[in-house]
């Protein structure tokens, strides 16, 4: 039998009492009986019943159909109509307002039960459908904005590569000029700020985990909190509950610092004067049954980071837009902060959610998948400029980036070949009369992507070393090439020191590829995975030329 709360709207007292008796016999709870459409709307808002049993013909100005339309559109409460008679016009009006059932008086108890239960089921299914559609629209909007953000950051990083390179050239050409030193110092500081901005854009676009490390989230927050607390009002108290037994996660620490800082800044700005921010970490298991409550996550072990505050809170409209880039209110947001946090968490295979109401503060929950690997000490980055020898093929369509890369490489002692398209690169490796020691392969080229070019490079010169470079990160297309055998990844913008160190590392590698492809099934598997029609394209190319 039913257990839902039902409101009766009926202006005939005898009929209303009979309906109440039937409903209570069936196990339902009757919240109230009202006799007018106007009163039914007021009661529906106040009592929030699970369903309404509504007589169509009411004596007041608003009839049952008009009242039902407002009750469902405003409060999403399903309505079952009652009528002593029916006709096609009445049925059509009832259908237009989204009736969840229709009973003709007199009716039997079992008919009432079946109709009420079907109405409750249909209302639940309709609500779930709308929620799914809303999540889909939100995901599509975030994906579109993310694609735009990723494209902007890629082009911006190309431009920063040119600026960074030319600053280095100025310092090398005028090492003793104080004016040049002062100017380049300020320029370099601005480049660092712009690089941080593109890092935020890239993070929002899901641009990858640049340097993932295995860490304890509790230890990370404990170590990082002193570094970011200066961004919040000193009058605000920060309480932590960070157990020592929290599981490890795999994360880029720089990006996770951006997440922590963004959430803390928003929490701080939501409070006027004194307040409290609480940070807690918990291990949790998301089961197959529970996964439906965590969209985007897979079953397994997770670490839950919760950051709550005593601030003003947010209304529904603000809460739905909080992850949009550059969205702000008088007390919330600093442009890309929360948008970047969304992208970073998503790209770490996690989930971030916000629960807030005006006057009740905000709770941000972040779920990150647990890792099994032990904590490892990060490698120290060397910054010396290292000279070298050999021939390097630069595959890059941006002319200014090409110019800077050529100047850097020639300054380090390398011979340089250039290719501005994928086809030019393929022609170069097939026709150049001499050794090519290494190729610097950009991901985005005007005629084909880098992952389509790479198999042709390997087919022509199996021992060729490849460094993938991009204004994007090492995930996505770059990761496919790295998995297929490329030696390293170079994130734009880069310094001369970083490039020279990578060249030294890759060119001194003693790993030699097996030239005989017929004896290397795994090699053919890797090439076929990233370019399935490789053999056909190579055969066609040879026949054509």
Nearest-angstrom CA–CA distance, 265 and 382: 33
**Quick one: 250 and 336 in the same domain?**
yes
For residues 260-275, give the mean pLDDT.
85
Looking only at the bridges linking them, the beta strands covering 79-83 and 465-470 are: unpaired
Residues 311, 184 within the same domain: no
pTM over 0.85: no
Q: What range does the domain containing 231 cover?
A: 212-369
pLDDT bin (cut points 50, 70, 90) of residue 73 is confident
Q: pLDDT digit string (tens) for 76-103?
A: 899 999 887 767 777 777 777 767 888 8
pLDDT in tens, 145-161: 666 766 777 677 778 88
Tell me: do 218 and 249 sit in the same domain.
Answer: yes
In a 3-state reduction of DSSP, which class is residue 155?
helix
128's tokens: 């779930």
Residues 281 and 358 in one domain: yes
Are residues 28 and 165 located together in one domain of the fold? no
Is 375 part of any domain? no
The verdict on 321 and 395 lying in the same domain is no
Task: Say which CATH number the domain at 69 has.
Answer: 3.40.50.2300
The whole-angstrom separation of Cα 137 and Cα 13 is 47
Higher pLDDT, 472 or 14: 14
Domains identified in the chain, total number: 4
Which among 211, 206, 188 has a CA at the least distance from the CA of 151?
206
User: Are 43 and 145 within one domain?
Assistant: no
Q: What percent of the chain has a predicted confidence (pLDDT) above 70?
A: 81
Region of 208 please: left (phi>0), alpha (psi -120 to 50) or beta.
Answer: left
Q: How far apart are CA 79 and CA 50, in angstroms?
A: 9
The separation between the first and the last C-alpha atoms of the chain, rounded to the nearest angstrom, is 80
Contact 393, 460 (CB under 8 A): no
Secondary structure of 286-350 as H, E, C letters: ECCCHHHHCCCCCCEEEEEEEEEECCCCCCHHHHHHCCCCCCCCCCCCCCCHHHHHHHHHHHCCC
Based on the fold, state whether residues 226 and 312 are members of the same structural domain: yes
List for the chain the helix, strand, coil content (%; round to 5).
Answer: 50, 20, 30
Do 513 and 439 have their domain in common? yes
Are 308 and 444 within one domain? no
Q: CA 59 to CA 42: how far, in whole Å?
A: 17
Q: With bands split at pLDDT 50, 70 and 90, how would you rate the model's confidence at 515?
A: very low
Residue (of 15, 31, 111, 13) closest to 77 by Cα position: 31
Same domain for 526 and 476, yes or no, is yes
Q: Are residues 13 and 92 in the same domain?
A: yes
- Alpha carbon distance 352, 363 (integer Å): 11
């Amino acid at each position: 039998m039913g257990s839902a709360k039902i409101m009766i709207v009926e202006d005939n007292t005898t009929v209303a009492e009979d309906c109440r008796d039937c409903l209570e016999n069936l196990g339902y709870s009757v919240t109230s009986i009202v006799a007018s459409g106007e009163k039914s709307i007021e009661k529906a808002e106040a009592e929030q019943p699970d369903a309404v049993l509504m007589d169509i013909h009411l004596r007041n100005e608003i009839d049952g159909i008009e009242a039902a339309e407002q009750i469902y559109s405003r409060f999403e409460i399903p309505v079952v109509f009652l009528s002593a008679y029916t006709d096609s016009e009445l049925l059509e009006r009832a259908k237009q307002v989204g009736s969840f059932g229709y009973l003709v008086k007199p009716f039997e108890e079992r008919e009432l039960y079946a109709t009420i239960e079907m109405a409750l089921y249909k209302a639940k299914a309709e609500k779930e459908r709308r929620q799914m559609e809303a999540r889909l629209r939100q995901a599509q909007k975030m994906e579109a904005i993310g694609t735009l953000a990723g494209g902007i950051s890629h082009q911006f990083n190309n431009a920063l590569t040119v600026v960074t390179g030319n600053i280095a050239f100025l310092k090398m050409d005028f090492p003793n000029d104080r004016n040049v030193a002062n100017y380049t110092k300020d320029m370099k500081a601005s480049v660092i700020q712009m690089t941080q901005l593109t890092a935020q854009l890239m993070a929002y676009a899901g641009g990858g985990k640049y340097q993932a490390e295995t860490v304890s989230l509790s230890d990370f927050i404990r170590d990082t909190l002193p570094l970011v607390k200066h961004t919040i009002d000193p009058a605000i108290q920060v309480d932590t509950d960070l157990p020592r037994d929290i599981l490890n996660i795999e994360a880029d620490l720089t990006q996770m610092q951006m997440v922590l800082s963004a959430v803390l800044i928003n929490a701080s700005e939501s409070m006027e004067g004194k307040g409290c921010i609480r940070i807690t970490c918990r291990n949790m298991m998301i089961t197959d049954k529970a996964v439906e409550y965590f969209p985007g996550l897979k079953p397994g072990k997770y670490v839950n980071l919760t950051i709550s505050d005593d601030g003003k809170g947010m209304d529904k409209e603000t809460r739905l837009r909080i992850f949009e880039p550059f969205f702000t209110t008088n007390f919330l947001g600093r442009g890309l902060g929360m948008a970047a946090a969304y992208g970073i968490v998503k790209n770490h295979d996690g989930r971030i959610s916000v629960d807030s109401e005006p006057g009740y503060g905000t709770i941000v929950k972040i779920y990150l998948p647990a890792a099994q690997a032990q904590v490892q000490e990060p490698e120290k980055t060397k910054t010396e400029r290292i000279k070298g020898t050999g021939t390097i093929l630069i595959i890059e369509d941006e002319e200014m980036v090409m110019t800077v890369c050529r100047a850097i490489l020639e300054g380090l002692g390398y011979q340089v070949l250039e290719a501005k398209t994928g086809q030019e690169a393929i022609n170069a490796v097939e026709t150049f009369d001499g050794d090519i020691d290494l190729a610097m392969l950009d991901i985005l080229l005007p005629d084909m992507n880098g992952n389509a070019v790479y198999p042709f490079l390997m087919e022509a010169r199996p021992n060729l070393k490849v460094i993938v470079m991009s204004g994007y990160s090492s995930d996505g297309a770059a990761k496919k090439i790295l998995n297929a055998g490329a030696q390293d990844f170079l994130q734009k913008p880069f310094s001369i020191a970083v490039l020279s160190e990578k060249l030294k590392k890759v060119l001194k590698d003693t790993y030699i590829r097996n030239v005989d492809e017929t004896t290397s099934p795994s090699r053919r598997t890797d090439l076929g995975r990233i370019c399935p029609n490789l053999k056909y394209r190579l055969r066609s190319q040879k026949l054509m030329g």
